[in-house]
Each structure stands twice: as C-alpha cells, then as structure tokens.
Amino acid sequence: MQNKPVHHPKKRARRQKDALPRLLILLLAAILAFGAGYYFGQKNGAAQRRRASGILIVNEQNPLSADYVPDELVNLYEMRHSFRLSRADIYLTYSAYLAAQEMFAAAEAENVNGFTITSGYRSYQRQAEVYAESKPGYAQKPGCSEHQTGLCFDVTAENTGGFENTPQYAWLRKNAHKYGFIQRYPADKASVTGISYEPWHYRFVGVDAATEIYKNNLTLEEYLK
Ligand SMILES: [Zn+2]
C-alpha cells in the first residue's frame, strides 16, 4: 500500500510515452484518409456535377435515336435576330436561340457585324440524306450529328477567305464562352472529337461549362469525362 502512490505515476508516464507515437501515427493516417477522401470526393463531385448537368453529348460513340427531336425548337427567321440567315428555315432550341441572340447583339455593340448563320437543327432523316449525298468521311452518320440536338449552329461572315481569318471569328473565339457557346471542333483536337477542325461550328452548353471548357482548352468529350 505504501509504494503505490510512488509506483503509479511512473507507470502512467511510461504508458503515455508509448501512446504518443501511436497517437501521431493515428493522427497522420486520419489526415491522409481525410485528404484522400476530400481529393477524390472533389474529383467525383465534379464529374457527378458534370454528368448531372444534363449536357448532351453527341458523337460516333454517343448517337441520338432516330426519333430524338429537341423541345422548343424555334425558327430563327421568325425571331428577333442580330445576325443574318442564309435561309428562312433554320431552327434552334429556344434557349440556344436566346443565347445566340444575346451574343450577336453584344458583337454588334462592339461593331462586329455581318455574322450569317447557315445551319442549325437538322433532323435524323435530313442527316441521313446529307450522309447519303456526301463523299465518305465528309458527313456524320445519321444520329451522330450534333446538329440533331438543336443546340449548335454553323456561322460564316461575308467576304471571307475562310471564316477563321475574319474579325468575326476572332470575336467569337474571345467571347463565345461568355454566352454559353464553345467552339466544338478545335483545330488540334480531332483525335479527341473524331471531327476535324470546324471554325464555323458553335455549340451551346451554358455559361459555366463553356467558361471552364474555354479556359482549360478542353473539348466537350474531355469536359464530360
Ligand atoms: Zn456544324
């Protein structure tokens, strides 16, 4: 009984010494686990957000069905428009039209005029005709054309020796993302998109996605991966 008060504190001290490294290891493991969880959580979170964003992707691997027709198609000719039209029967979805209208009005306000939209929505059946009429490799198979989404257009400008050499093109490259559009088929990304450079083809994906894609020099395929 007499020894106990002396003995106990010593024992406790030794136990504390052993416990300290174990505690540090546990703490380190917890930090690592939390860090990894956070990192992968962020990554998965971003991927999930993108998948949940509902952004439609159309390519050889992701074709649309023959009966896919987007909601709320509008005839651009019948809408107020700050751009020209090569025909009176070019359609886009209402949201893509609104964004395009805002974008071309902004270009006009900066004295960049003369955009002409030459193509918008194309039905599966129409794409089948285009495909049948084209030389091999020049048109997408029916279902594989992004034009079936109603979310993209082809544009040109007057007096061009190639659209990519015009001030209109330069303006679009710099500003399209602010209105939710991306250049869908960049020059150096054919191996990713499966489609060679199309300076005239712009796709509506919304401002957030377009800005991230533009700033990181991505394609839609890379963004949604
Ligand atoms: Zn196109």
Residue 136: the pLDDT is 86
Q: What is the pLDDT of residue 49?
A: 53
Strands 115-119, 91-93: pairing kind:
unpaired
Residues with CB under 5 A from ligand 1 (ion): 154, 201
The pTM assigned to this predicted structure is 0.78
Find the distance separating the first CA and the last CA of the chain, reported in whole Å: 72
- Token pair 């709320």 in the structure block, residue: 72
- Would you call 183 helix, strand, or coil by DSSP? strand
Ligand 1 centre and the CA of 4: distance in Å? 89
List the structure tokens of 66: 């023959």
Q: State the Rg of the chain over Cα.
A: 28
Distance 64 CA to ligand 1 centre (A): 16
| Catalytic pick among 60, 198, 221, 222 | 198
Helix (H/G/I), strand (E/B), else coil: 210: helix
Distance 106 CA to ligand 1 centre (A): 22
pLDDT (tens digit, 0 to 9) for every residue of the chain, 225 residues total?
A: 445 544 555 555 555 666 677 777 777 777 777 666 565 555 555 555 555 678 999 999 999 999 999 999 999 999 999 999 999 999 999 999 999 999 999 999 999 999 999 999 999 999 999 999 999 888 999 999 999 999 999 999 986 678 999 999 999 999 999 999 999 999 999 999 999 999 999 999 999 999 999 999 999 999 998
Whether 222 sits among the annotated catalytic residues: the reply is: no
For ligand 1, the distance from its centroid to the CA atom of residue 147, given in whole angstroms, is 6
Question: Cβ(124)–Cβ(143) under 8 Å?
Answer: yes
Residue 52 Cα to ligand 1 midpoint, Å, equals: 25
Distance from the alpha carbon of residue 140 to the mean position of ligand 1, in angstroms: 10
Q: Which two tokens stand for residue 100?
A: 């395009």
**Contact residues for 164 (Cβ-Cβ < 8 A; gap 6+):** 199
Cβ neighbours of 38 (radius 10 Å): 11
What b-and-e string marks burial along 154-181, b requiring 16 or more CB atoms within 10 Å of the CB? bbbbeeeeebeebebbebbeebbbebbb
DSSP state string for 102-142:
HHHHHHHHTT---EEEEE----HHHHHHHHHHSPTTSSPPT
- The helix (run of H) or strand (run of E) holding residue 201 is strand 201-204
The number of CA neighbours under 13 Å toward the Cβ of 190 is 7
Q: Is 203 helix (H, G, I), strand (E, B) or coil?
A: strand
Q: How far is the CA of 155 from the centre of ligand 1 (A)?
A: 8
